[in-house]
Amino acid sequence: MSETIPIEDLFEDIIAKSMRGRHVTEAELSEKSGEDPDILRRLCRGEFCDETALQSVAKALQLDPAALTMAASKVWRPRSVSMVGLEIFNTPYRDMRVNAFLVFDPETKQGACFDTGTDCSILTKKAAELGVTIEKIFLTHTHNDHIADLDRLKSECSSADVYSNKDEPWPDTITFMQGDAFSVGNLKISTMTTSGHSVGGTTYFIKGLERPIAVVGDAMFAGSMGGGMVSFADAWRNNRDKILTLPEETVICPGHGPMSSVGEEKRNNPFFAGEFR
């Protein structure tokens, strides 16, 4: 299903997030990049009108010019991910879509949910079809689109424990600290606080399947990152230092858009590609 999910952020979204995060206005960006204000205005509104100007803008915003050009040209999307033990569920929320994930041990059929999306019924139905028992529910963060159907999921999985980060606790959940670890069947789940988009945004690193998995919430998207609603600097640093230092084959399971991998993001994400070349 992941291959049918569109890329979350267009190149103009990437520019806008970097401008907001670095507190740069259009007028300041024109001065920093040396580009004509009219051309800059067109780029900021999603018109890929001048590749040289786009690359100047990228440098001025500390984005990787080659990766931003690929985003504007729409020539890259992450390779499709299909793996036993990992299911993605993409549901509508207002004018966007949001992901939830089911991760399970294929041997023991013990599983965990990560977020709920806006309709958990497709997740619980799939779990039932696979014979998977949902033992734990983990929240990446508590923005409404990610926990919109939590009450129903808790009702349908009444024996499952629900977990949230102590820095962003949710009522009637068990809170944990960064570094706390969990087991689901033979799967091992470790926790990292990847704040910045939210106060206690959490990345769950899961080992025990064909490839390791990082469920990252809105910390990172395929070819982009979540908005630094709390702190852009913290969000960027946590992504670079915590998520992108995981093994390259690690599957990145984001809150929006298709799944990706650490290796692909290190090469193709305009926010980070320059850090790893």
CATH number of the domain to which 69 belongs: 1.10.260.40
CATH of the domain at 218: 3.60.15.10
Same domain, 219 and 201: yes
Residue 83, SS3? coil
**Residues 105 and 192 grouped into a single domain:** yes
The ranges of the chain with pLDDT < 50 are none
Q: Check residue 4 and give its pLDDT.
A: 87
Question: Are residues 99 and 172 both part of a single domain?
Answer: yes
| Shared domain check, 152 and 91 | yes
**Domain housing 37:** 4-73
Give CA separation, 165 vs 71, 78, 192, 251, 260, in Å: 33, 29, 9, 22, 24
> Structural domain tally of the chain?
2
- Please give the distance of CA 238 from its chain centroid, rounded to a whole number: 12
pTM over 0.95: yes
pLDDT for residue 277: 80
pLDDT, residue 3, reads: 59
Both tokens assigned to 4: 């049918």
**Spatial distance between the Cα atoms of 248 and 221, rounded to a whole number of angstroms:** 16
Domain boundary among 73, 107, 124: 73
Same domain, 103 and 225: yes
Same domain? 52 vs 172: no
* CA pair distance 272, 245, nearest whole angstrom: 12
